[in-house]
Structure 1
Amino acid sequence: MFIEDGILYIHYKQIENLDQHVAEDCVRARKAFTENKDYPCLVDVISIKNFTKEARDYFANEGNEGIIANAILINSTVTKMMANFYIMVNKPTNPTRMFTDKAIALEWLKQFSK
């Protein structure tokens, strides 16, 4: 994680199966890192193989606290399907879109930056 130009960047390491326990750990780490401040967020999920339903539900609701908007960076049909499912079925509580181009994702996030 790092913050640049008012945007929080999160790059997930390779995770075979992201379950709710891992999701809760990730959110705790993010909140500690940001000192509970709100940010628009670029999330790189390219290395995640699978999200459990419980993890998706958690990220879409409680796990979104402190996130103004999410740009999800994808690069394959598999990550596109996961991100699309997350956006359409889990319905995150904040503006969320998926992108294949990092520059376009950052441009979209700028509108949410303080």
Structure 2
Amino acid sequence: MGKFKNVSEVIETPYISMFIEEGILHVYYKRIENMDLDIAKECVLTRKEFTNNRVYPCLINVIQMKSSTKEARDFFATEGNEGISASALIVNSSAFKMMANFYIMVNRPKNPTRLFTDKASALEWLEQFKK
């Protein structure tokens, strides 16, 4: 935790690690071969418990995630977005960029959502959504 500024607690599960730094929730997905609805629900429940249902802009690093089911994407776009004022998705491959763009265009998340390939740009964009 020493490498993060203003981080009080880091939560680790088999699927994610998350922390709040300078008013932005950081969620890093671990290696997941196929994100299904059950895993998606567990991740969102963990996030809501961790944030005490407070609303945050969210940096979401999905670099290690391999794929997701339609049900998981639908869930993340609707109920799974509760408590998130905006989402910045960090991707690093053209295949995942296509999948994430598909998610944004087809699933239409209910909050502002953008793709980024670098963390600094994502954090800069999320600043406008802090309360």
Q: What TM-score do the two structures reach when normalised by structure 1?
A: 0.99
Given the alignment of the two structures, is residue 60 of structure 1 paired with residue 84 of structure 2, yes or no?
no
How many Å apart are 1:45 and its aligned residue? 0.3
Structure 1 residue runs of 5 or longer lacking an equivalent are none
> Equivalents in 2 of 1:99, 1:21: separation in Å?
26
Q: Give 1:1-114 correspondences, 5 Å limit.
A: 1-114=18-131
> Equivalents in 2 of 1:90, 1:81: separation in Å?
13
> Equivalents in 1 of 2:34, 2:129: separation in Å?
30
Between structure 1 and structure 2, the one with the greater Rg is 2
> Equivalents in 2 of 1:20, 1:78: separation in Å?
21
How many Å apart are 1:23 and its aligned residue? 0.3
How many Å apart are 1:79 and its aligned residue? 1.3
How many Å apart are 1:102 and its aligned residue? 0.7
Where relative contact order (Cα < 8 A, 6+ residues apart) is larger, the structure is 1
> Equivalents in 1 of 2:47, 2:31: separation in Å?
17
Aligned length: 114
> Equivalents in 1 of 2:39, 2:58: separation in Å?
19
Q: What TM-score do the two structures reach when normalised by structure 2?
A: 0.86
Normalized per residue, which structure has more helix? 1
What SS does the aligned partner of 1:111 have?
Answer: helix
Deviations 1:68-103 (A, max 9, x none): 000000000121011101100000000000000110
